A = this chain, B = another copy of it.
Amino acid sequence: MKEYQPITKEIIEKLRDIVGPSYIKTDTDVLVQYQTDYESDPKRFHMPEAAVIPADAEEIAAVLKLANTYGFPVTVRSGGTSLADGAIPVCGGLVLSMERLNTILELNEDGMYMVVEAGVRTVDLQRRAREAGLLYAGDPSSSESCLIGGNLATNAGGLKAVRYGVTRNQVYAVEMVTPTGDIVELGACLKKCSTGYSLEQLVIGSEGTLGIITKATLKLSPLPPYKFDVLAIYTEPDTALEMVPRLLKAGIEPTSVEYMDNSYVRGCADYCGYTNMPHYEDGMYVIITVESFREEELDTRMETVCQVCEASGAAEVLEADERVWNMRRNCQTSVEQISKVSLTDDIVVPVHNIATTIEHIMEVGKNYPFQVKINAHIGDGNLHIVLCKMDMSDEEWDKNVEAFHQDVYAYTYAAGGRLAGEHGIGNKKLAYMEKFTPAGELNMMKTIKRAMDPNTILNPGKLIEA
């Protein structure tokens, strides 16, 4: 890895001039909060040398110009909810926290769009849209804690992606500070555009390696007033997963199709204290949500959904009640009850290959000393594989995780999939990114990164080795 300029007193002075004395942090007991994100393994933590909390794009631009002048690295921190070590300053240097850019600037009801600063909490802008009778359709599970800028940087997915797409589909335009410190506006509030390169699409999902997004113009959709949730319980995984294309072909555009394997069903029911959950012992749960603008269409649609589920071999089909959603929401917490250290992985495969992929992973998992659990956004082929360290030694854990990943990722690529469906690569999957990405694609990424960030000061050690 490249050698960087340490942050000297001189640099600190200049940073203080830019952001003001209250917004630069150098005390170890303050910096400790920036050493990790949702990473739970202390071996992967890394302390920054300093942190700044700038007020706006102009200050961020000045910080990045300084970083280029001196050659110190800058790691951007959004909500700090990364599961891929995305906010950890792995090369040391400066952490730049986006928390003060937290204003919702405009909501245009006629134009159905919203302009927000990058540090607005996702849940706050979702709420603001709802108050206007509109929907911001990006909905990552971490919406209570994450900031919209992080959603954009990772192209976050979430619970409504089957119907509405991922974060990149919710964005009209962004304001960004380039790695060399220029403030640029990319994209426009347009339904179609063939006017030059789609730079906003390039930047979304680039995990802060091509620039720091400071503002975004987001699409809003009409808010469907009606919905229903169906719980389909399967005892055979392969049949469960054939249901998605059948639903689509029947003209049902579900908002989400969520899957919990049986270990989750049991773990979450236990955690929530629910006794008598159906098929507690052998059931896999699939929750299907369908929204509608017309009350009178709910019945016929629910009937279609139930028919499709039954035809695809569901053991039981019920209306999903609040308990089921509560279980789904507590997947992560239920894991924490079992194991202090766990690893939540995120792969994605073509939807038509999801059944065989789950089967393969569960089969492979049997060869390992940890418990393998899967919950999935099966409507879009996105699997979260959770490994629980329990009381394994560090060494045993690392060795086994590595071997498991080599197997699972190789299988994933062979099935037409990719390393990350919604969490990003961060630092955690950097070596795998280098290994599994086709050479031509990887070269093209590096060509663009080097052209945009010639001194490699922005988010080094993330997404690609520049």
A interface residues (Cβ-Cβ under 8 A, vs B):
108, 110-112, 133, 154-157, 161-162, 165-166, 168-169, 178, 182-186, 188-199, 201-202, 204-206, 210, 222, 224, 245, 248-251, 292-294, 296-297, 300, 346, 348-353, 377, 379-382, 416-425, 433, 437-438, 440-445, 447-448, 450-452, 463-464
Provide the bound-state CA to CA distance between A58 and B378, in Å.
37
* Residue in chain B with minimal CB distance to A226: B251
A155 touches B198 (CB 8 A): yes
- B194, B351, B438: which contacts A420 (Cβ < 8 A)? B194
| Known contacts A154-B194, A297-B297, A464-B196; A188 and B422 CB within 8 A of each other | no
Please state the number of chain copies in the assembly.
2
A188 touches B352 (CB 8 A): no
- Taking each of A108, A293, A381, A444, which has the highest tally of chain B beta carbons within 10 Å of its own beta carbon? A444
A199 touches B294 (CB 8 A): no
| Known contacts A182-B443, A297-B297; A423 and B188 CB within 8 A of each other | no
Closest approach, in angstroms, between the C-beta of A74 and any C-beta of chain B? 19
| Chain B positions within 8 Å of A201 at CB level | 168, 198, 201-202
Closest approach, in angstroms, between the C-beta of A142 and any C-beta of chain B? 14
* Residue in chain B with minimal CB distance to A292: B251
Closest approach, in angstroms, between the C-beta of A367 and any C-beta of chain B? 26
Closest approach, in angstroms, between the C-beta of A1 and any C-beta of chain B? 19
| Chain B positions within 8 Å of A155 at CB level | 192-194, 198
* Residue in chain B with minimal CB distance to A464: B196
| Chain B positions within 8 Å of A250 at CB level | 222, 293
Closest approach, in angstroms, between the C-beta of A140 and any C-beta of chain B? 11
A202 touches B192 (CB 8 A): no
B189 touches A350 (CB 8 A): yes
| Chain B positions within 8 Å of A161 at CB level | 191-192
Provide the bound-state CA to CA distance between A248 and B111, in Å.
11
B196 touches A437 (CB 8 A): yes
Provide the bound-state CA to CA distance between A224 and B252, in Å.
11
| Chain B positions within 8 Å of A162 at CB level | 191
Provide the bound-state CA to CA distance between A188 and B189, in Å.
27
- Taking each of A188, A346, A441, which has the highest tally of chain B beta carbons within 10 Å of its own beta carbon? A441
B382 touches A192 (CB 8 A): yes
B190 touches A421 (CB 8 A): yes
- B202, B224, B421, B438: which contacts A202 (Cβ < 8 A)? B202
A191 touches B380 (CB 8 A): yes
Closest approach, in angstroms, between the C-beta of A385 and any C-beta of chain B? 15
B450 touches A185 (CB 8 A): no
| Known contacts A197-B202, A294-B300; A190 and B111 CB within 8 A of each other | no
- B157, B178, B350, B424: which contacts A111 (Cβ < 8 A)? B350
